[in-house]
Amino acid sequence: MKMGFGFNGFSLVVVVSCLMVVASPAAGNFHQDFDITWGGNRAKVFNGGQLLSLSLDKVSGSGFLSKKEYLFGRIDMQLKLVAGNSAGTVTAYYLSSQGPSHDEIDFEFLGNVSGDPYILHTNVFTQGKGNREQQFYLWFDPTRNFHTYSIIWKPQHIIFLVDNIPIRVFKNGEAIGVPFPKSQPMRIYSSLWNADDWATRGGLVKTDWSKAPFTAYYRNFNAVACTSCASKSSTSLSDAAWQSNNNELDATSRRRLRWVQKYFMIYNYCTDLKRFPQGVPSECKQHSRF
């Protein structure tokens, strides 16, 4: 499917007063904040720790991991994705704890052939169970420039944002029996890897290794995290602010969320009746109300 990056007649003026705006510290340093975990010299840090690249070739991909754990916070990272024919590749950027009952909050960018849009795949795992996928096209070409991908994780909800525009909200549904990530500290992971058995058109389009190496770039990492919820975290808000500030999206941000979900969402597990013939998961009812 060919797709332009227009705005369907909407003027994109972003108002983000509701999105937990705080004084932002300087961007993090990849030397200080992350470890390269695999891929050898396919992962590189440049500019005194201000820029990182991951590459994929036919032998291996590459990845990195944060040195610190986080329990509630806001995580921002700017990415510029693999350009050209990226079919078969996946660039993953996510929070995750460890173990069979792990929690996880996912951004995954599924590559495509030249001229076709990336698919942004999101998911939330709680106590080892995922299957909460929502997928989106983006309203811009994510390979031309850096764009900011953010996760706000609070006891009340998880918000996924692209350039400070909310695209998805996952609310705490413990009151209706739905587990919510709230007790397992998570690290930040990212990787670039070959997934041509499923990533592009369900695996029909394979990775063209003549285009390798495939490279994605990262910069301007920032974390604002709860201080005592996990072991020593990054720049912090007070614990009281995290625990008591239950603000939801304001009216403008709700409009932006509806705009994204109306024009750019291409899959929502909450509307997949073939997948859930006995009824969609219970959290879907509360997620339909913003």
| Strand duo 147-153 + 73-80: pairing | antiparallel
In sequence order, the 6+-apart residues with CB closer than 8 A to the CB of 209 are 57, 58
Choosing from 69, 104, 133, 174, the catalytic residue is 104
Contact 60, 40 (CB under 8 A): yes
Give CA–CA dist 151/50, Å, rounded.
Answer: 20
Q: How far is CA 9 from CA 6, 14, 16, 263, in A?
A: 8, 15, 21, 11
Give CA–CA dist 15/111, Å, rounded.
Answer: 30
Contact 83, 115 (CB under 8 A): no
Choosing from 108, 133, 248, 283, the catalytic residue is 108
Contact 230, 242 (CB under 8 A): no
62: left (phi over 0), alpha (psi -120 to 50) or beta: beta
Bridge partners (DSSP) of residue 188 are 95
Q: Does the active-site annotation cover 104?
A: yes
Q: How far is CA 119 from CA 31, 141, 194, 262, in A?
A: 30, 11, 15, 15
Q: Which residue has the tokens 């904040």?
A: 33
Give CA–CA dist 254/4, Å, rounded.
Answer: 24
| Catalytic annotation, residues | 104, 108
